[in-house]
Amino acid sequence: MTDTQETEGVQDTEAKSAFLARLRAFEGRHAESGRVALDPVNAPMIRHWAEAMGDTNPVYTDAAFAETTHFGGIVAPATMLQVWTMRGLQTGAGPPDSPVTKLYDLIVEAGFGSVVATNCEQEYTRPLRLGEVVEYDQLIESVSEEKTTGLGVGHFVTTLTNLYVRPEAPGEGRELIGTHRFRILRFRPHPRPPREPARKPRPRRVVNRDNQPFWDGVDADQLLIQRCTRCGTLRLPFGPGCNACASLEWDTVEAAGGGTVYSHVTMHYPKFPAFDMPYCVALVELDEGVRTLCNIVGVPHDAVHIGMRVALEFVRHDAELKVPAFRPTEPSREA
Ligand code: ZN
């Protein structure tokens, strides 16, 4: 280790402990105090919650049944506790001047921009009844030193929320009905090495009874053309009968390998993981007069042009896949 590195290491440690001291100054501070729930405990929210959770206990939804229980009426599921303190979608995490907001801002500014909830502990003293209004205090209970986790480096922040039923008459004591301890990790994710997308295999050849002889030819490094034995018409791709005379009798001739680009397109999209984008797909007219679709290799996609002379070759993509392709036999125009 050089002197410079050592100095930086010491400075780094000092900076970390100074930062931790700033964070820990928030410990024990009230983030919220006497905040009142947006809605009193009510049947629609209970019903939606029970439906979403699949909880069919009728004491939550059936008033007639609930009256026969020792609760004497509908109660809210105890585990719904946090629902009553939620701030709504549009209101943000907390008031901008709240200590918890300031604490989180400080942590985010230091580069710990990601967040994940890690622990939730709740205690319930009794179920809430319809019409009761919850109010709550939230305390910043603890901030951890910098920790290295599987997700990244960061600080755990634990808040403790005490929930009460608001007294019906002013001056009456608040009744504690539950506590909610929540721990989050504010962290900087580990840098990930850029991952090369796994090369997917190219689509397989679709072999059927009509084209089996064509692919057998490819395996033998031959580009076969079908020939009608009645009228002599050549055809490619392979098919069951002659388009000229309808004869089902045929044999094959081997293409000599010369051809001309009749037409071509360059594929930019969609991005198939099996192909190097962009790539050229050409309709090559063989010197024998039939045309075949294939890739043009050995030349940039934008150097392919109509009328370009090309020669047959066979490209093996993997152990199972060999296909015909064509390579230009003339220098490209740009050259
Ligand atoms: Zn024919």
Domain residue limits, the chain: 20-35+96-190, 212-328
Cα(230) to centroid of ligand 1, in Å?
5
Q: Which tokens go with 270? A: 């969609």
Distance (angstroms) between ligand 1 centre and the Cα of 249 equals: 8
pLDDT of residue 174: 87
Per-residue confidence at 332, pLDDT binned at 50, 70, 90?
A: low
Whole-number Å distance between alpha carbons of 61 and 72: 13
Strands, E assignment, the chain: 30-36, 114-124, 134-143, 147-148, 152-165, 175-189, 224-228, 234-235, 250-254, 258-267, 279-286, 291-295, 309-316, 322-328
pLDDT at 128 over 70: yes
CB burial readout 13-44, b (16+ within 10 A) else e: eeeeeebeeebbebeeeebbeebebeeebeee
Alpha-helical segments (H) within 136-196: none
- Ligand 1 centre to CA of 222 (Å) is 23
Distance 229 CA to ligand 1 centre (A): 7
**Average pLDDT of the segment spanning 88-117:** 82
Gap from CA of 253 to ligand 1 centroid (Å): 14
Given a cut of 90, is residue 294 above it in pLDDT?
A: yes
The rounded Å distance from CA 307 to ligand 1 centre is: 29
Q: How does residue 335 score in pLDDT terms, banded at 50, 70 and 90?
A: very low
**pLDDT surpassing 80 at residue 183:** yes
The mean-pLDDT minimum among 26-40, 62-76, 222-236, 295-309 falls in 26-40
67 contacts 105 by C-beta, under 8 angstroms: no
In the chain, DSSP finds a helix count (H) and a strand count (E) of 5, 14
> Cα separation of 266 and 296, whole Å?
10
Cα–Cα distance, 167 to 177 (Å, whole number): 12
Q: Sign of the CA dihedral 308, 313, 315, 321? A: positive
- Alpha carbon 203 to its chain's center: 25
**Mean pLDDT value of segment 301-314:** 95
pTM of the complete model: 0.54
Instruction: Name the percent of the chain lying above pLDDT 70.
Output: 92
Classify domain 20-35+96-190 by CATH number. Answer: 3.10.129.10
Ligand 1 centroid to 125 CA: how many Å?
91
Going from the Cα of 214 to the center of ligand 1, the distance in angstroms, rounded, reads 18
Three-state DSSP state, 73? coil
Mean pLDDT within 261-274 = 89
| Gap from CA of 234 to ligand 1 centroid (Å) | 8
Q: Which DSSP letter does residue 247 get?
A: -
Q: What one-character DSSP code corresponds to residue 215?
A: H
pLDDT at 35 over 90: no
- C-alpha 309 – ligand 1 centre gap (Å): 29
pLDDT at residue 211 is higher than 90: yes
- pLDDT score at 176: 93
Asked if the model's pLDDT at residue 192 lies above 90, the reply is no
pLDDT at 315 over 70: yes
pLDDT at 333 (0 to 100): 56
Q: Which two tokens stand for residue 237?
A: 């791709």
Lowest mean pLDDT: which of 47-51, 252-256, 273-277, 302-306?
273-277
How close is the Cα of 241 to the center of ligand 1, in Å?
8
Please write the tens of the pLDDT for every residue from 146-175: 999 988 999 999 999 999 998 888 778 888
Beta pairing class for 147-148 and 114-124: unpaired
- What is the residue whose two structure tokens read 């997308």? 197
Mean residue pLDDT of the chain comes to 89
243 and 237 in contact (C-beta within 8 Å)? no
Name the band, by pLDDT with cuts 50, 70 and 90, for residue 2: very low
